[in-house]
Chain A
Amino acid sequence: MKTFKIAIVLFCLSLVIVAFFWLRSCTKDDYVELGTDDKIDPTPTQIQSIKAIGEWEFLSVNVEELADTVRKGFFSDDELMRIYYGTLRLGVNMHNVEPGWFVAEDDSVSLTLPAIGLLDREFIDEARTKPFFESGSWKPEEREALYQKAHQNMLLHGLTKENLAAAEENAREQIGNMMKAMGYKRVGISFKSSSVNSKP
């Protein structure tokens, strides 16, 4: 009788051990998580317009702008800081040349080009903007105001007299080389506006 009881106990014990290892193997890869998917939905990219342009770029200025805005509250202030990236492209737009801009005679050539300036006022790559700090909730119009502020500051720091002068100097050198490659020995280059205007 005693032996029978011991056998029953051993059997039950082995059942428990087997059940334990079975449950452990079944739940080995178990996990539960609360989450979201960060991927954007696939949407088409539409071409809105195609334009033929003739813009000569002679100097590119890469600017980073850490712009921030603060909204005062009673208990605490809200703040939004973002880093904007932009490239100001300086050069001449060939669509603005005037009749008689190119005068060639024998081995001499004289070019009168439009003034060096900013080729495109849209120069910020806003989709590349990096978030830096955010407290509080911000509306789209507030983000737009911050973008405009960054745009103004970038113009102020990138569109300088020095940069315009450097672009003009490089334009003389590059166009001069090109004309010499075309066979002209004497090359004269002038720009429409002699005074460099750096105002944004």
Chain B
Amino acid sequence: MKNNKRLVLTVLAVVVIGLLMLFDGQFELSSDGAGNHDDTSVGVGNQEPASDISLVTQVRKCAKLYTAEYRVHKIVTHDDVLRLKGSVLQRQFNIKLPLGDRRIAIPIDAKLKAWIDFSQFSEKNIERHGDRITIILPDPQVTLTSSKIDQKNVRQHVALARANFSDAELANYLEQGRAAIIQSIPEMGIIETAQANAAKVLVPMLTEMGYDENQVTVAFRKQQYSLGDIQTLLKIDD
């Protein structure tokens, strides 16, 4: 009789715990369904306001003329296969384990801009020969001004035996993707485009000053840059 009571109580306890867990899952599903987890919104799903911290780390005065903008796109992919690796009796082995695959594709859009620094501009940058004027400018520099993950088009496959991709893993893949974009900048020709576009901004200003277009020359220290030169002209925040 006592044993029966114990059994009933155990079954009841299991059922109650199961129901509670089910409700917990449903709450999560309902909030996902709302598709809005903005803590600033009121009465959406089951969220509570969270405190955010904003910190202005640097305010810098400058005089940069941005003349070229490149929009680039990259799909960062990662094939995460679980492998058993090792060496036994001096024999190497590397075995792919079944049911351990995870794959992800993350599209990134980045914006690169090239600029010319005018903060040191002085009479030394101007040469006049009769009616003709030559403006000598410093080398253009390149920066990555923004990057954005196309979250709508992120695709992933996670095998049953594996956990979902964590935020830290995603950040690691994105960091590598960003580094790959930066590495490909020297092949894009952005410095040359920036030089050509500088004239499009400065020549109209000089014609307003009374110069004829044919009398104005916008010159740079160099016309051709080696890969090594371009590396020194990249100003990317770490």
Q: Which residues of A contact B (CB under 8 A)?
A: 26-27, 29-75, 77-80, 82, 85-87, 89, 91, 94, 102, 104, 109, 119-120, 122-131, 134, 136-150, 152-154, 156-158, 163, 166, 170, 174, 177-178, 181-182
Within 8 A of A (CB), among B103-158: 108-111, 113, 115, 118-119, 121-123, 125-126, 144-149, 151-152, 154
Q: How far is the CA of A134 from the CA of B165 in the complex (A)?
A: 11
Interface residues, chain B, CB within 8 Å of chain A?
Answer: 20-21, 23-24, 27-28, 31-32, 35-40, 45-48, 50-90, 97, 108-111, 113, 115, 118-119, 121-123, 125-126, 144-149, 151-152, 154, 164, 166-178, 180-181, 184, 188, 193, 197, 200-201, 205, 208-210, 237
Instruction: Check B167–A138 contact: CB distance below 8 A.
Output: yes
Determine the chain B residues whose CB is within 8 A of the CB of A89 once the complex forms. 145
The reply to whether B48 and A40 form a contact with Cβ atoms under 8 Å apart is no
Number of A-B contacts (CB under 8 A): 315
CB distance from A186 to the nearest CB of B (A): 14
A75→B71 contact, CB < 8 A: no
- Point out the residue from A46, A102, A109, A119 that lies within 8 Å of B72, measured CB to CB: A46
Give Cα distance in the complex from A136 to B32, angstroms. 12
Whole-angstrom distance between the Cβ of A82 and the nearest chain B Cβ: 7
Could you pull out 16 A-B pairs where Cβ atoms are within 8 angstroms?
A31-B87, A32-B86, A40-B78, A43-B75, A43-B180, A45-B72, A58-B63, A59-B59, A65-B53, A68-B52, A71-B37, A75-B21, A119-B66, A123-B145, A144-B151, A181-B121
Q: State whether A30 touches B86 (Cβ < 8 A).
A: yes
Given A87-B237, A120-B111, decide whether A73 and B81 contact each other with a Cβ distance below 8 A. Answer: no
Contacts of B72 in A (CB 8 A): 45-48
Q: Do residues B32 and A61 form an inter-chain contact, with CB atoms below 8 A?
A: no
Please tell me if the beta carbons of A68 and B62 are within 8 angstroms of each other in the complex. Answer: no
